[in-house]
Each structure stands twice: as structure tokens, then as C-alpha cells.
């Protein structure tokens, strides 16, 4: 099973470069299943129903979220209509689900959306909660498990890998919008601290530079904005899972409308 994962698609530029490349990426890399974190997909904050429909029509199978999952209130109704997950460790009374199970050909994959503690909204302990949920999936015979860990601190992400390596197939980090180069496979589990954004590459983490600079210079906050025109980047990982274990994994990139290329292969730790 070949899974394609995108972290943090940011605004219209992110949607545009995704739509430009996705069909060829799926064909060139023989992709079976596509997961995209869309919590920044609609002008940087949440996702609208219009944009969700547009993206699902562009071959996304599952959407994940994070601290901006509920920024657009229409998301509540959309969770019943689309394959949209929100972080598992939001309080139980919050709308939506944090785990989805999907059939891919003759196999099953579970996708889990999880959120860290540091700098995030009030959520339940992700480490205690995820250990219990992974055990339930394993007891139910699910071998292919992907976790989108939406967290600010790399220490939280590495700790999750230390706890779950050999027990899940994939742990991919999202939220920081800055890609890391620590792709590794240990005990059959693929890990990367952050895949990086898909969107504007010439501003500040996908947002127009003016507002962040004003905040750093004056200490006064203003609303962040996504530019309509910018230089764009697409970043994703391709993971080949066989019977719950990762056999191949690599990062792909594209700049604007240039060809997609493999930028880094995962290091397999003996």
C-alpha cells in the first residue's frame, strides 16, 4: 500500500499547487491512498465546505486537522459528510472523530489525528490516549496505522516515536510548516518530525510577511493573511507499507510548476 501524506496545506496557493501536481504524483508514484492536513487550507485558518469539496474532487481520501480545525464553524456538519478528522485528544464531547478506518484494495488502514500539548489548545494527554487506541486497533487486527501528530515541540514528536516504534506504521509531524530532514524507519515505523507546508515559500510560514514582522517589531498582534500571489512549494512524503511495516519512504518536493522530485529517502535504522 503506497500512502501519500501532505502536512499543512496553506490557503489558496497551497490548494493551487496541490491541484496542479496531484494527478501526476499519484500516477508516477503509484499512490493508493492520500492524506492531507487541511487545517490551514481556507485562507490559513480552518477549511470551508466549498474548499473541502474542491479538494476531495482532487483525489484526497482523508483530511486531518489540528489547532485550527474548528476555526470555520461549518466544519461540524462537514465531519458527518466527508472523511475529515480532528485531533483525537480534543475533549470527548467535541464534534467529530480522531480516528478513521478505511479500505484500500484488500487492505485496511487506520488514520489517527493527534495533537501535542505545547502551545496548543486544552486537550487530553496525547501519550496516554494514543497508547490505548493503538492497542484497540491492534486487538481488532488493524496492522496499517498512520498517525498525523500535530505538535509544536519536536521533543513531543520524538517521544511519540520512541513510545510507538514497531507498533504503528507511520508517524508524520505537522503544524510548524517547516520541513525537517530526520526521515527514518525504525522497527518498521516511518517517522519525520515535520513534513513542511504546501503553499507560499517566500513569506513567513505561508503567510504574508507584514503581519508577523509587525508583531515581532511592536509586540502588537494583527490578523495573519495568505498572499494571493507568491512563490510556491509542495512538500509531501510517500510511504510504502507492507503488512503494517514500512518498506520504503521518501520525501517529494515541487517548486511552482516545476517537475516533482524525490528530495530525501528515509534512513533505515538497523
Catalytic residues: 68
Task: Give CA separation, 155 vs 151, 173, 219, 266, in Å.
Answer: 9, 11, 27, 19
Count the Cβ atoms, other than its own, within 10 Å of residue 109. 25
**What are the C-alpha distances in Å from 19 to residues 58, 215, 261?**
6, 33, 16
Q: How far apart are CA 41 and CA 13, in angstroms?
A: 9
User: What would the grid cell of residue 230 be?
Assistant: 507568491
Integer Cα distance of 13 and 16 in angstroms: 5
Question: What's the Rg (C-alpha) of the chain?
Answer: 17
What is the C-alpha to C-alpha distance for residues 177 and 171, in angstroms, rounded to an integer? 16
User: How far is it, in rounded angstroms, from Cα 204 to Cα 175?
Assistant: 14
Amino acid at each position: 500500500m503506497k500512502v501519500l501524506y501532505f502536512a499543512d496545506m496553506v490557503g489558496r496557493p497551497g490548494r493551487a499547487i496541490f491541484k496542479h501536481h496531484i494527478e501526476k504524483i499519484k500516477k508516477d508514484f503509484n499512490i493508493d491512498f492520500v492524506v492531507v492536513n487541511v487545517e490551514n487550507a481556507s485562507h490559513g485558518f480552518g477549511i470551508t465546505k466549498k474548499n473541502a469539496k474542491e479538494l476531495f474532487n482532487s483525489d484526497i481520501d482523508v483530511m486531518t486537522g489540528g489547532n485550527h480545525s474548528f476555526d470555520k464553524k461549518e466544519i461540524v456538519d462537514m465531519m458527518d459528510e466527508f472523511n475529515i478528522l480532528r485531533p483525537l485528544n480534543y475533549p470527548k464531547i467535541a464534534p467529530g472523530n480522531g480516528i478513521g478506518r478505511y479500505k484500500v484494495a484488500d487492505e485496511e488502514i487506520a488514520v489517527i489525528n493527534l495533537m501535542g500539548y505545547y502551545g496548543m489548545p486544552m486537550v487530553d494527554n496525547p501519550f496516554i490516549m494514543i497508547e490505548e487506541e493503538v492497542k484497540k486497533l491492534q486487538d481488532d487486527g488493524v496492522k496499517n496505522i498512520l498517525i498525523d501528530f500535530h505538535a509544536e515541540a519536536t521533543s513531543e514528536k520524538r517521544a511519540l516515536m520512541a513510545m510507538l516504534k514497531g507498533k504503528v506504521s507511520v508517524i508524520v509531524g505537522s503544524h510548524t510548516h517547516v520541513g525537517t530532514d530526520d526521515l527514518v524507519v525504525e522497527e518498521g515505523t516511518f517517522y519525520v518530525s515535520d513534513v513542511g507546508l504546501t503553499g507560499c515559500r517566500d513569506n513567513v510560514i505561508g503567510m504574508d510577511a507584514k503581519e508577523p514582522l509587525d508583531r515581532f517589531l511592536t509586540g502588537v498582534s494583527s490578523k495573519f493573511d495568505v498572499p494571493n500571489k507568491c512563490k510556491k512549494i509542495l512538500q509531501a512524503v510517500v510511504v510504502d507499507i507492507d503488512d503494517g511495516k514500512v518498506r520504503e519512504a521518501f520525501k517529494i518536493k515541487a517548486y511552482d510548476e516545476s517537475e516533482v522530485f524525490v528530495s530525501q529517502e528515509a534512513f533505515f535504522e538497523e
